Amino acid sequence: MHPHASTIAFRAGAALLAAGCIAVLAAAASITPSTSGMGTHTQLGLPQCGWVLMFGRPCMTCGMTTAFAHMVRLEVWSSVRAQPLGALLAMLTPILMFAGLHAAIWGTRIDALAAPLLRPRSLWVGAALLVGAWVYKLIVTA
């Protein structure tokens, strides 16, 4: 293998990460946040939430797209009200985008910084945040 092959592959991956973040933010900017706090994703051609259709209650990710659509407009409180975890992820997306761009351009190894996020404790915290945001959504839509 060429000595720079891993660096080139890493930089390409970082560029793809940045491009993905840009695409998510651009999609969020291209839609109008739903006043109901969920369902905004249908403007992207996606179907209605199957969980809502079956059970009449929001799923764990209901409101995420709405939260992103509010956050790109800097409507922070509306984003948090729509889906607290979605608001947090929407705030982290530009940071991840810039980290990806930095790594793609200068070859900075950001993967070592991300490794702690894949440890069991971090994954448990992420799961707890997801469940907590879902409980919040269930309460506010009751």
What pLDDT tens digit does each residue of the chain (142 aa) get? 445 557 888 899 999 999 999 999 999 999 999 999 999 999 999 999 999 999 999 999 999 999 999 999 999 999 999 999 999 999 999 999 999 999 999 988 887 778 888 889 999 999 999 999 999 999 999 8
- What does the block give as tokens for 98? 């810039």
Triad 90, 35, 76: Cα angle to 5°: 35
CA distances from 68 to 76, 88, 120 (A): 10, 9, 27
